[in-house]
Structure 1
Amino acid sequence: MPSVTPVEGTPGSTAIDATTTPSRRVRDVVKAYVALMKPRVIELLLVTTIPAMLLAQRGIPSVWLVLATLVGGTMAAGSANALNCVVDADIDAVMKRTKARPLATHEVPVRSALVFGIALGAAAFSWLWLTTNLLSAVLAVVTILFYVFVYTMGLKRRTSQNIVWGGAAGCMPVVIGWSAVTGTVGWPALVMFGVIFFWTPPHFWALAMKFREDYAAAKVPMLPVVASREQVSRQIVIYSWVMVAWSLLLLPATSWIYGSFAVVFGVWFLVFAHRLHNAVRRGEPGSPMKLFHMSNTYLMLVFVALAADAVVGLKTFGLPF
């Protein structure tokens, strides 16, 4: 099991004790705790939750239900991310990309971050149970536990396939959103889960190609650290094709609106993936960060098309769900 940075008051502790921390404005403290939640990651998760709820309703759910689900989802994701920061504090301090995070800079004591993460998780469960249903609350807790114990503590430092399986936690918001509306987990929710699941490796491996030296220094065996650039770019192409094909499995639950945009955006993604692979095969550096940023746009556009289809779709392709 990976080591956790010692808490203040224990031998070898590197965190600054609350009694010796220079006084800071409340705003700075709040900003540090918000940073623990990784709000930019949460934004992307919420972008997928709303379309899932619209599709489940086949229209617009109550505003209260949407807001309640988003609040609960934010707390759950924030909990998982804060606890991830606690476990990965040693890694974050080594990597240039993450060395400014609150625990790496000692802006927040490790013990406080741990309590904060656990409290957020408990609040997410209680909130979702009270405002949506028990299934959504349980799914949120399962997601937190999976992300912290299976991915962060179990897979991340042990296998190059860490992000493939660990990325499943990032797929859960669509399932939670669906269950908040229906009280069940229908097959379209599982298809949406799969779209994000197959999207995660191309998205994250493109980033890891750029920051390969960071991960190598932190001894995290991301695929770009242990495999050649050509092998990584080939895997990106393979997962990209599977992702685009999988996205079309939603056709029986949608109309021509989603179908047409899913194809167009899918082809767009594949062009970027193949460009990267072809450049690497020619011995050129390629532009993995272009694919990384484009992958965020792709996911947003596909789910926006799904949301539009759910609200104004004219004709479904198949049977109702």
Structure 2
Amino acid sequence: MAVESDYRDWIALLKPRVMTLVVFTGVIGLLVAPGHLNPVLAFTAILCIAVAAGACGAINMWYDRDIDAIMRRTRDRPIPAGRIQPGPALGFGVTLAAGSVLVMGLVVNIPAALILALSVCFYVFVYTMWLKRRTPQNIVIGGAAGAFPAVIGWAAVTGSVDLIPLVLFGIVFIWTPPHFWSLALWANDDYRRAGVPMLPVVSGAKETRRQILLYTIVLVPLTMVPYLMGFSGLPYGITAGLLGLIFLERVYRVITDRQDEAGNSLTGDAPAKAAFKYSILYLFALFGALAIDRLIG
């Protein structure tokens, strides 16, 4: 029996919490790019990034509605809860995706629109429909989709792609596995029940912890590249180093914890949950420091 929906359910389809981080990295890419963009065009570019991210969320919820209904973390989403039917949700997502790319191309520039279209197609077809249910490397390869916004923001200003936005892309790309695998450790039972081959389900908690550590060890020096290239100043370099040390400390707590092996996922304040939450703050603070450093420097 269908349950009547309201505007909050349609907003929930857009995954606003995920959208916030995507929009933020897009804004940073726009702010640190050389040159100047008319404020109206800049707002339009960020709006298009936000709408495209929301479209990806809606299409993802449409495609994953079967496993969302099984997982405790997602079973109250609008589609599995019956508040929005699958067909309208898909139409909503496709319309937003097409509209965002079209407006970006017509109002801002074609290169930014092409990269935006690539990011949408990568998230929908490569990550959601191909990788997520087939390989424990789903979030590694699929992480590229979430790494595009900074490049799109840069391209909106410059009409091209340079080395620096590729470095920012790399930072988000390498950040994604330790970020998401910390969540996967915490929500391990959910993914196992739904049959999603996340790394903890396929390879176990011990290997997942090891991979989280390895990616974080790569991530921390990678965040120093803008400073080493001379693109940013000492304030960013110091901030990136301190944030990285705290991230490594959070990861150390994860690799020395055994709570998730005892089947206690989704309970308490496990180190994996704490690392997941810090990883979000980490990326916000890191990219924010880069923008502030550039603007005052």
Shorter-chain-normalised TM-score: which range? over 0.9
In 2, the alpha carbon distance for the partners of 1:167 and 1:262 equals 21
Moved more, 250-259 or 109-118: 250-259
1:218 and 2:194 equivalent? yes
What is the letter of the counterpart of residue 222 of structure 1?
A: M
Kindly report which structure 2 residues correspond to 1:182-261, keeping only aligned pairs within 5 A, or say none: 182-251=158-227, 252=229, 253-261=231-239
Unaligned runs of at least 5 residues, structure 2 = 265-269
Q: Which residue does 1:52 correspond to in 2?
A: 29
**Alpha-carbon deviation of 1:86?**
0.9
Structure 1 residues without counterparts, runs of 5 or longer: 1-15, 314-321
1:170 matches 2:154: no
Contact 2:105/2:113 (<8 A) preserved: yes
Q: 1:61: how far off?
A: 4.4
User: Aligned-pair RMSD on alpha carbons?
Assistant: 1.7
Alignment of 1:5-84 (within 5 A): 24=4, 29-57=6-34, 61-84=37-60
Cross-structure match for 1:279: 257
Task: Tell me the percent identity.
Answer: 40
Give the count of matched residue pairs: 288
In structure 2, distance between residues paired with 1:307 and 1:61: 16
Picking from 46, 52, 66, the partner of 1:90 is: 66
Query: Are the equivalent residues in 2 in contact too, given 1:97–1:214 (CA < 8 A)?
Result: yes
Instruction: Give the Cα separation in 2 of the matches to 1:262 and 1:62.
Output: 30
Q: Which has the higher helix share?
A: 2
**8 Å contact kept, 2:250–2:271:** no
| 2:285 aligned to which of 287, 290, 301 | 301
CA positional deviation for 1:227: 1.6
Larger radius of gyration between Structure 1 and Structure 2: 1
Report the equivalent of 1:269. Answer: 247
Moved more, 244-253 or 300-309: 244-253
Taking the aligned partners of 1:61 and 1:304, their CA distance within structure 2 comes to 19
Deviation (angstroms), 1:34: 1.1
Answer whether contact 1:269 1:295 (CA < 8 A) is retained.
Answer: yes
Q: Partner amino acid for 1:229? A: A
The within-5 A match list for 1:108-147 is 108-147=84-123
The answer (yes or no) to whether the contact 2:61–2:79 under 8 Å persists in 1 is: yes
Query: How far apart are residue 79 of structure 1 and its match?
Result: 1.1
Give a deviation string over 1:192-221, Cα, whole Å, max 9, x none: 001000110111001011111100011000
Q: Is 1:291 aligned to residue 275 of structure 2?
A: yes
- Deviation per CA, 1:132-158, whole angstroms, max 9, x where unpaired? 101111111111111111111110011
TM-score, normalised relative to structure 1: 0.86
Query: Conserved in 1, the CA contact under 8 Å of 2:220 and 2:244?
Result: yes
Shift >6 Å, 4+ stretches: none
Instruction: Pick the aligned partner of 1:103 from 53, 74, 79.
Output: 79
Matched to 2:103, the amino acid is: W
Q: Which amino acid aligns with 2:187?
A: F
In 2, are the aligned partners of 1:143 and 1:169 still within 8 Å (CA)?
A: yes
Cα distance in 1 for partners of 2:176, 2:279 equals 9
